[in-house]
Structure formats: C-alpha cells, structure tokens
Copies of this chain bind each other. A is one copy, B any other.
C-alpha cells in the first residue's frame, strides 16, 4: 500500500527506475515540497524545482511529465509518508484508544516537520481535485478498517458507523493540527514541534468519549 514499496517507471523511457534513479526522483520530490510550500502552485515552476534539487532540466523529464504531474506525485508521496508516520506511531498499541493516541502523535509530528502537507493538499483542491480526494480516501480507508476491527473486538461502541467516524476523526485532527500546531508560534516566531500536551490530552478525552472505548467506560465505572 505505501509509496515505499511501489515501483516507479520513467515516463520518458517507460522502464522501472534503478536505485540511483529512485534517489534522484526522491531528491526532486523533496525540492518540489519546498518550492510548492514556499511559493504555491502558480508561482512555482519546473525550473525552480530543478534549481533547488540541483539537477538539470532534462533530468526532470526523466521522472515527471509536467508541473501538474510532479505536484500530483508530491501529494501522493506526502500522503504515503504521513500514513507511514501514523502507522509507525501506532505500533504496539493494545487498545483502539492507544492506537488513536499513537496515530495522532504520528500525524502531528509529520505535520510539524512537513508544513507543506496542509498547503499542498489545499491547493490540490484547485490544481487536481481527484488527487485531493485520493489523499483523503487513502487515509479514511485504513482508518475505517481499524475502527471496524476494534468494533468486532468489542473495544469501541458497536453502534458507530466506521466510515463516518473516520471522516469525523480525520477532520478533527486536521483543524486541531492547523490551530494548535501550524498557527502557533513563540514570541520569536518559532513554530512548535508538537501540540501542547494539555490540548492533546483534551483532544484524546473527546476521542475516548466519541468512540465509547472500553478504557473510557472502565475509567468511568471505577
């Protein structure tokens, strides 16, 4: 499922990329992340991406057809990486609530390190609506499956609709990340690297309530 396992093919040669080709593709994508985040889609250009990546213009076209193509590849790549960050942070969780905590930690950590995520996804609504949908749907698919599994294990409220709950939780994370991470800065203008623990805990209480998790119900009974 993740980008990491995919085989990339050069649009110019039609052949799978070598290890070295994959490294160059990654370098171009990382430059594109900076350029699109700094300038926005309209002001960004292929030349600015190749200058930032330190590759020749001809090299770019071995990997991507157009500005639109690299923008779409960047959305897909950020999506794969944010999901990987969430999955890694969820490893070892023994309850759905622990998995939620881990997943949101992974999401916010990635967001703090890659503020381009929000900007690029929002511009995708105008530049490539289908790619924006793909971004959300790929997150929801895994999320709903996790909630469904927790329901069948009796770990969360069986009456919840897993898909609606997944959209609700994703929207919640998106705006809380925007407000309490991207909008925050200290008196010198520095951005925080994580959400203030009190806010995170308040969010987790909201989620525990919403999911009607066993942990939460035990807590109330005790």
* A residues with CB within 8 A of B: 40, 42, 119, 122-123, 125-126, 133, 136, 157, 159-161, 164-165, 167-176, 178-180, 183, 198-199, 202-203, 205-207, 209-212
Judge whether B176 and A167 touch: CB under 8 Å.
yes
Partner of A171, one of B126, B164, B176, B209: B176
Partner of A136, one of B161, B179, B212: B179
Judge whether B168 and A205 touch: CB under 8 Å.
no
The interface residues of chain B lying within 8 Å CB-to-CB of A167 are 172, 175-176, 179-180
Query: Which residue of chain B is the closest to A119 with respect to CB atoms?
Result: B125
The interface residues of chain B lying within 8 Å CB-to-CB of A171 are 171-176
A195 to chain B, nearest CB (A): 10
Partner of A175, one of B42, B170, B206: B170
Judge whether B125 and A205 touch: CB under 8 Å.
no
Q: A125-B119, A209-B212 are in contact. Are A175 and B179 (CB under 8 A)?
A: no
Partner of A209, one of B122, B123, B175, B209: B209
A49 to chain B, nearest CB (A): 19
Judge whether A164 and B203 touch: CB under 8 Å.
yes
Bound complex: CA of A164 vs CA of B168, how far in Å?
14
A65 to chain B, nearest CB (A): 22
Judge whether B209 and A164 touch: CB under 8 Å.
no
Find the residue from A157, A178, A209 having the highest chain B CB count within 10 A.
A209
Judge whether B174 and A175 touch: CB under 8 Å.
yes
Q: A171-B171, A171-B175, A172-B172 are in contact. Are A202 and B161 (CB under 8 A)?
A: yes
The interface residues of chain B lying within 8 Å CB-to-CB of A164 are 176, 180, 199, 202-203, 206
The interface residues of chain B lying within 8 Å CB-to-CB of A126 are 40, 119, 122-123
